[in-house]
Amino acid sequence: MASVKISKPLPALPGDWNSKSNFIVHSPLSAAVHRNLSPAGPHFLAHARRKRHSRTFSEDDRIQAQQNVMSVEDEDTGEISEAESPLLLSRDPKDWKNQDHYAVLGLSKYRYKATDEQIKKAHRKKVLKHHPDKKAALGAVDDDSFFKCIQKAMEVLSDPVKRRQFDSVDEGANRDPPSKKSKGNFYKGWGPVFESESRFSRKQPVPRLGDDKSTKAEVEEFYNFWYNFDSWRTFEYLDEEVPDDNENRDQKRYIQRKNNASRAKRKTEDTARLRKLVDDALSLDTRIKKFREEEKKLRNAKKDAREAEEKRLAEEARIKAQEDQKRKEEEEARQKAQKADSKKAKEAAKNAVKKNRRVLKSSVKDVNYFVSGDVTPAVIDSVLGEVDLVISKIDNEDLQTLAKNLSGVKGTDAVKSTWAEAVGELVKKGSAKAEDFKVFVA
Amino acid sequence: MSGNPSPSPPASPEIDDDTKTVIGIAFGNTTSSIAYTTPDGKAEVIANEEGDRQIPSVLSWVGSEEYHGTQAKSHLVRNAKNTVAYFRDFLGKKYSEIDPTNSHNSAHPVDIDGVPSFNLQQADDETVSTASINEIATRHLIRLRDSASDFLGRKVTGAVITVPTDFSDSQREALVAAAKAGELEVLQIIHEPVAAVLAYAARQTPEEQSVDKNILVADLGGTRCDAAVVASRGGMYTILATAHDYGLGGLKLDEVLVDHFSKEFIKKHKVDPRSERSLAKLRLEAEGTKRTLSLGTSGTISIESLADGYDFHSTVNRLRYELSAKKVFDQIVSLVENVVKKAELDLLDIGEVILSGGTSHTPKIASRIAALFPASVPVNAPATLTTSLNPSELSARGAAIQASLIAEFDKEDIEQSTHPAVTVTPHLSHPIGVVIGEDDSFQTMLEAQTAVPARRIAQFDVRATGDVIVRICEGIREIVIEKVERQVNGEKDEDDSEDEEDEAGGEEEERNRVLKVHKVIAEAAVKGVKKGGKVEVTINVGSDLGLNVAARVIGTQIGVRGEVRPEAGSA
The CA R_g of chain A, rounded to the nearest whole Å, is: 64
Rounded to whole angstroms, the Cα distance separating A89 from A287 reads 48
pLDDT band at B320 (very low <50, low <70, confident <90, very high): very high
Residue B14 has pLDDT above 50, yes or no: no
User: What confidence tens digit (pLDDT) does each residue in A147-160 have?
Assistant: 888 999 999 999 98
Q: How far is A37 from chain B (nearest CA, A)?
A: 5
Highest mean pLDDT among B2-11, B27-36, B40-49, B445-454 belongs to: B27-36
DSSP annotation of A176 reads P
Highest mean pLDDT among A88-102, A158-172, B227-241 belongs to: B227-241
What's the pLDDT at B59? 94
What's the pLDDT at A231? 87
Rounded to whole angstroms, the Cα distance separating B182 from B140 reads 9
- Give the residue from B19, B242, B460 with the most A CB atoms within 10 Å of its CB, the best one to mutate: B460
Residue B429's CB is within 10 A of a number of other CB atoms, namely 15
CA angle, residues A153, A159, A163, in degrees to nearest 5? 65
Q: Which amino acid is at A373?
A: G
Residue B218: name the closest of B368, B320, B71 by CA.
B368
Q: How far is B522 from chain A (nearest CA, A)?
A: 4
Chain B positions in Cβ-Cβ contact with residue A109 (cut-off 8 Å): 6, 10-11
Interval B267-293 mean pLDDT: 91
Chain A positions in Cβ-Cβ contact with residue B416 (cut-off 8 Å): 48, 52
Rounded to whole angstroms, the Cα distance separating B12 from B4 reads 19
Residue B428 has pLDDT above 70, yes or no: yes
Rounded to whole angstroms, the Cα distance separating B240 from B230 reads 6
Whether the CB-CB separation of A439 and A371 falls below 8 Å is answered with no
Average pLDDT, chain A: 83
Is B15's CB within 8 Å of A11's CB?
no
Q: Which amino acid is at B491?
A: E
Which chain A residue's Cα is nearest to B462?
A: A9
Residue B188 vs residue B530, higher pLDDT: B188
DSSP annotation of B528 reads E
CA angle, residues B511, B328, B55, in degrees to nearest 5? 115
Is A39's CB within 8 Å of B463's CB?
no
pLDDT band at A64 (very low <50, low <70, confident <90, very high): confident
Residue A260: its H or E element: helix A249-284
Residue A139 has pLDDT above 80, yes or no: no
pLDDT band at A402 (very low <50, low <70, confident <90, very high): confident
Helix, strand, coil distribution of chain A in percent, nearest 5: 65, 5, 30
Instruction: Please classify residue A2 by burial: count the beta carbons closer than 10 Å to its beta carbon, then call 0-12 exposed, 13-18 middle and 19+ buried.
Output: exposed
* Domains, in order of start, for chain B: 22-189 (3.30.420.40), 250-326 (3.90.640.10), 432-477+515-564 (2.60.34.10)
What's the pLDDT at A265? 92
Point out the residue among B460, B466, B565 whose CB comes nearest to the CB of A12. B466
Whether the CB-CB separation of B453 and A57 falls below 8 Å is answered with yes
Chain B residues 266-295 within an 8 A CB cutoff of chain A: none
Whether the CB-CB separation of B377 and B239 falls below 8 Å is answered with no
3 state SS of B518: strand
> What is the interface size between A and B, counted as CB pairs within 8 Å?
270
Whether the CB-CB separation of B482 and B512 falls below 8 Å is answered with yes
Long-range contacts of A97-101 (CB under 8 A, 24+ apart): A97/A237, A99/A149, A99/A152, A99/A153, A100/A170, A100/A172, A100/B1, A101/A152, A101/A153, A101/A156, A101/A157, A101/A166
Instruction: Tell me, yes or no, if B477 comes closer than 8 A to chain A by beta carbon.
Output: no
Is A10's CB within 8 Å of B469's CB?
yes
CATH annotation of A86-172: 1.10.287.110
What's the pLDDT at B16? 41
The CA R_g of chain B, rounded to the nearest whole Å, is: 29
Rounded to whole angstroms, the Cα distance separating B396 from B54 reads 10
3 state SS of A136: helix
For residue B143, what are the contacts with CB-CB under 8 A and spacing of at least 6? B59, B68, B69
Rounded to whole angstroms, the Cα distance separating A405 from A410 reads 10
Chain A positions in Cβ-Cβ contact with residue B566 (cut-off 8 Å): 28-29
What's the pLDDT at B86? 92
Chain B positions in Cβ-Cβ contact with residue A97 (cut-off 8 Å): none
Whether the CB-CB separation of A392 and A348 falls below 8 Å is answered with no
User: What confidence tens digit (pLDDT) does each residue in B22-78 have?
Assistant: 999 999 999 999 999 988 888 999 999 999 999 999 999 998 899 999 999 999 988
User: What confidence tens digit (pLDDT) does each residue in B508-529 have?
Assistant: 778 888 888 888 888 888 888 8
User: What confidence tens digit (pLDDT) does each residue in A183-193 have?
Assistant: 778 888 888 88
Instruction: Tell me, yes or no, if A1 comes closer than 8 A to chain B by beta carbon.
Output: yes
User: What confidence tens digit (pLDDT) does each residue in B109-163 have?
Assistant: 999 888 999 999 888 888 888 999 999 999 999 999 999 999 998 899 899 999 9
Interval B468-496 mean pLDDT: 72
Q: How far is B134 from chain A (nearest CA, A)?
A: 26
What's the pLDDT at B499? 45
Is A9's CB within 8 Å of B463's CB?
yes
- Strands B454-461 and A4-9 come out as parallel
Q: How far is A173 from chain B (nearest CA, A)?
A: 8
Interval B204-216 mean pLDDT: 88
Is B15's CB within 8 Å of A115's CB?
yes
Interval A426-431 mean pLDDT: 77
φ/ψ of residue A416, rounded to 5: -65, -45
Is B209's CB within 8 Å of A22's CB?
no
Instruction: Tell me, yes or no, if B507 comes closer than 8 A to chain A by beta carbon.
Output: no
Is A39's CB within 8 Å of B440's CB?
no
For residue B308, what are the contacts with CB-CB under 8 A and spacing of at least 6? B269, B271
- Return the half-sphere exposure (C-beta side, CA atoms, 13 A cut-off) of residue B363: 15
Q: Could you give the C-alpha distances from A340 to A337, A346, A350, B229, in angstroms and in order?
A: 5, 10, 15, 124
DSSP annotation of A246 reads S
Rounded to whole angstroms, the Cα distance separating B147 from B120 reads 24
Chain A positions in Cβ-Cβ contact with residue B43 (cut-off 8 Å): none
User: What confidence tens digit (pLDDT) does each residue in A409-421 have?
Assistant: 777 777 778 878 8
Instruction: Tell me, yes or no, if B564 comes closer than 8 A to chain A by beta carbon.
Output: yes
User: What confidence tens digit (pLDDT) does each residue in B380-412 have?
Assistant: 999 999 899 999 999 999 999 999 999 888 888
Instruction: Tell me, yes or no, if A40 comes closer than 8 A to chain B by beta carbon.
Output: yes
- Give the residue from A5, A6, A16, A167 with the most B CB atoms within 10 Å of its CB, the best one to mutate: A6
Residue B504 has pLDDT above 70, yes or no: no
Residue B570 has pLDDT above 50, yes or no: no
Whether the CB-CB separation of B255 and B375 falls below 8 Å is answered with no
Taking phi over 0 as left and psi of -120 to 50 as alpha, with beta for the rest, B545 belongs to left
Instruction: Tell me, yes or no, if B186 comes closer than 8 A to chain A by beta carbon.
Output: no
What's the pLDDT at B498? 46
Q: Could you give the C-alpha distances from A203 to A111, A198, B399, in angstroms and in order?
A: 20, 9, 36
What's the pLDDT at B421? 85
pLDDT band at A138 (very low <50, low <70, confident <90, very high): confident
Instruction: Please classify residue A320 by burial: count the beta carbons closer than 10 Å to its beta carbon, then call 0-12 exposed, 13-18 middle and 19+ buried.
Output: exposed
What's the pLDDT at A72? 66
Residue B13 has pLDDT above 60, yes or no: no
Is A22's CB within 8 Å of B525's CB?
yes
Whether the CB-CB separation of A74 and A121 falls below 8 Å is answered with no
- Strands B65-68 and B507-529 come out as unpaired
Is B443's CB within 8 Å of A8's CB?
yes
User: What confidence tens digit (pLDDT) does each residue in A258-304 have?
Assistant: 999 999 999 999 999 989 888 888 888 888 888 888 889 988 898 99
Rounded to whole angstroms, the Cα distance separating B90 from B109 reads 9
Is A29's CB within 8 Å of B545's CB?
yes
Instruction: Please classify residue A175 by burial: count the beta carbons closer than 10 Å to its beta carbon, then call 0-12 exposed, 13-18 middle and 19+ buried.
Output: middle
Chain B positions in Cβ-Cβ contact with residue A170 (cut-off 8 Å): 1
- Strands B310-317 and B298-307 come out as antiparallel
Rounded to whole angstroms, the Cα distance separating B405 from B373 reads 33
Q: How far is B140 from chain A (nearest CA, A)?
A: 25
Chain B positions in Cβ-Cβ contact with residue A17 (cut-off 8 Å): 467, 469, 525
Point out the residue among B423, B436, B547 whose CB comes nearest to the CB of A37. B423
Chain B residues 208-247 within an 8 A CB cutoff of chain A: 209-210, 230, 234-240
Residue B186 has pLDDT above 80, yes or no: yes
Residue B141: name the closest of B171, B181, B174 by CA.
B181
Chain B positions in Cβ-Cβ contact with residue A49 (cut-off 8 Å): 417
What's the pLDDT at B9? 37
Q: How far is A269 from chain B (nearest CA, A)?
A: 18
Average pLDDT, chain B: 87
Residue A46: its H or E element: helix A42-52
φ/ψ of residue B532, rounded to 5: 80, 0
Residue B180: name the closest of B172, B168, B190 by CA.
B172
Residue B497 vs residue A328, higher pLDDT: A328
Q: If you count DSSP H runs as helices and E runs as strands, how many of each does chain B have, helices first?
A: 15, 28
Give me the residue spans of the domains in chain A.
86-172, 184-284, 358-436
Rounded to whole angstroms, the Cα distance separating B316 from B282 reads 14
pTM of the entire predicted model: 0.65
Chain B positions in Cβ-Cβ contact with residue A31 (cut-off 8 Å): 429, 545, 567, 570-571
pLDDT band at A234 (very low <50, low <70, confident <90, very high): confident
Residue A17 vs residue B118, higher pLDDT: B118
Rounded to whole angstroms, the Cα distance separating A344 from A338 reads 10
Give the burial string for B50-74 (b: 16+ CB within 10 Å, else e). eebbbbbbbbbbbeeeebbbbbbbb
User: What confidence tens digit (pLDDT) does each residue in B338-394 have?
Assistant: 999 999 999 999 999 999 999 999 999 999 999 999 999 999 999 999 899 999 999
Is A6's CB within 8 Å of B436's CB?
yes
Is A4's CB within 8 Å of B457's CB?
yes
For residue B314, what are the contacts with CB-CB under 8 A and spacing of at least 6? B261, B264, B265, B300, B301, B302
Residue B313: name the closest of B326, B322, B304, B321 by CA.
B304
- DSSP assignment string, B39-91: TTS-EEEEP-TTS-SSEE-EEEEETTEEEETHHHHHHHHH-GGGEEES-GGGT
What's the pLDDT at B28? 93
Q: How far is A177 from chain B (nearest CA, A)?
A: 11
Whether the CB-CB separation of B106 and B85 falls below 8 Å is answered with yes
Domain covering A358-436, topology: Helicase, Ruva Protein; domain 3 (1.10.8)
Residue B213: name the closest of B447, B370, B421, B3 by CA.
B447
Q: Could you give the C-alpha distances from A93 to A107, A136, A143, B261, in angstroms and in order?
A: 18, 19, 11, 76
